[in-house]
Structure 1
Amino acid sequence: MCASGAVTRSTLRQQIADALRDEVLAGRLQPGREFTVKQIAEQYGVSATPVREALFDLSAQGLLESDQHRGFRVREFTVADYRSLVEARSLVIDGVIRGIFFGPSLSPAQRTGYRDCLVSVRRRAQEAARAALGGDLDILIGYDLRFWRELGVLVDNTYINDFLHRLRVQAWVFAVPYLRHDARARDWLWHGHPDLVAAITLGDHDAVRGVMDDYSTHALNWADRLAAGELELPGRDGQSAGQAPDPGVPEP
């Protein structure tokens, strides 16, 4: 009985965390939105325990902030935060590329594993690129996160893979509200996934580095656009990107 209950609670905890993460990524839970354990428990019709555990999991992933007296709040990332996420991601990936191309030679079994992995990753890449070119943000986010997650298997290091996944989720959380309010959003959705798979398949170090440099430059150029005030902070009339919210202005 005890073992069964533990498994059920753990599963429910993960389901709630996944559902709330999807709400944030879809832009339905806006940055700065506050809520309590009780509110979420009532919304999903479950007890408070798995909800509290799920919310603390999301807080540990950097998506929520907790307040002892006010409950939880969707984290508000700034343009500076976003730049730091991109730069951290770039540094880690640069090290990963060096490890793959300049590390010990792959064994026959590893090469077979790479080829098998790339078959699935190539499909994710094509779907992600198609969604980006079509401006379908919801489909893009799902395929993009799965693409990078599966591609990370090549690294064979779960700590690095989990860290990079966390950075990408946080970057999407920051970007989604802006992209949903930007008429030119489709122009700023990166779609180089197939190019990266092709370069890795060929084992072309320079091509891989070139695609990854393009990936980071694309993200930083978009951050420059936000910093220049070309887009207002979603939900904050007249407030440019990266500024702290005015505590005297009520939520819309």
Structure 2
Amino acid sequence: MSFPAVPPAALRIDTHAHVFARGLPMADVRRYTPAYDVTVDEYLARLDAHGMSHGVLVQPSFLGSDNDYLLQAIARAPQRLRGIAMVDADVGLAQLQALQQGGVVGIRLNLVGGAPLPDLRGVWHDTLTHIAAMGWQVEIHREAADLPLVLEPLLALGLNVVVDHFGRVDAALGVDDPGFGYLLSIAASRQVWVKLSAQYRNGGSEGGARFARRAWPLLRRHFGVDRLLWGSDWPHTQHESVTDYGDSWRRFEALVSDEQDRRRITGETAAQLFRFG
């Protein structure tokens, strides 16, 4: 797949959303089973309604490593969409290359909710080496306390790492969570990006907003706007009653009050990492 250049002024990128349908094969082990469908056309309509130029579709954990629906969705608007897939540790190089041809630019390890930590130095090593050589990213969704265990082997391989949802801190600790402190400490590696997404996954609607207000200046100081991203987390699975797409964007606007910062985060930073330009 070729990735056409996009004029910087036109860029406004949502880096985290999902599409799925109830009739699709589901992973045998999953934390959640959707009771509704969300299509790529619905997502594109939301991008249009909120002035977004591009979007990134992240494979939901409950669909496992069958990325067919993700690839079909990207194919509906290949110039506007990229994908983050889920793969098994023994995925072959040819399969990774086929995903890349379909618009995929990285993989996600969704390890939240007590999922066992993968053997990143063992059975995953060859696959991660291929991913590093391809210039892909690895997205991590794991509680902050375990970030050192997950990120250290990835950084040692020279991988670009994206940490989901502010790092998923312990709501009772907020910015005092040692895992959040570790996240700040590795910013100097320049291998790590953080998604300013899903505030509500860090202590509910109000608690998450309070945490985000304290976290934002620390993240900006340590990472800079060239290592921070925004994602809607649409359709906000398990939190649909507390937010919607417009609310997600308004919370980001309120959090990142400087327009130049917002433009850099949703424009150049995201475009470079997700290969939109």
**TM tier relative to shorter chain:** under 0.3
Structure with greater proportional strand content: 2
Structure with greater proportional helix content: 1
Q: Whose Rg is larger? A: 1
Q: TM-score, normalised by structure 1?
A: 0.25
Q: TM-score, normalised by structure 2?
A: 0.24
